[in-house]
Amino acid sequence: GAGVSQSPSNKVTEKGKDVELRCDPISGHTALYWYRQRLGQGLEFLIYFQGNSAPDKSGLPSDRFSAERTGESVSTLTIQRTQQEDSAVYLCASSPRGRSNTGELFFGEGSRLTVL
């Protein structure tokens, strides 16, 4: 597809379970971002990958959160021992080389996570 693809689109899990969220960026985009959008709140930065550089993990809220990226391709966000406050829409975005500074991020439709 032409856009950023995220899966699953919806995930319901029980407190304490681990979840994995997947992001397929637009082909050729070197930068990849994860943001979280909780109900009634603004988007919160989680992590940023740029090419082969070390990722910026400064937004990850706790050590239960981790993310990996395979080269300049797919990324997986993992949340271990989920808590109810982790319930949110997790948004992935990508941008092409040299365009990160313009702030033009291409977002996917998000993965809605509900922790019961």
Partner 1 sequence: EDQVTQSPEALRLQEGESSSLNCSYTVSGLRGLFWYRQDPGKGPEFLFTLYSAGEEKEKERLKATLTKKESFLHITAPKPEDSATYLCAVRGYGGSQGNLIFGKGTKLSVKP
Between 19 and 31, whose beta carbon lies closer to partner 1?
31
Binding site for partner 1 (CB under 8 A): 4, 31, 33, 35, 40-45, 47-50, 56, 58-59, 91, 93, 100-110
Torsion angle of the four alpha carbons 59, 62, 65, 66, in this order, in degrees rounded to the nearest 10: 70
Nearest-approach distance from CB 23 to partner 1, in angstroms? 11
Nearest-approach distance from CB 92 to partner 1, in angstroms? 8
Rg (C-alpha) for the chain, rounded Å, is 13
Between 19 and 106, whose beta carbon lies closer to partner 1?
106
- Residues 6 or more apart whose CB falls under 8 angstroms from that of 98 comprise none
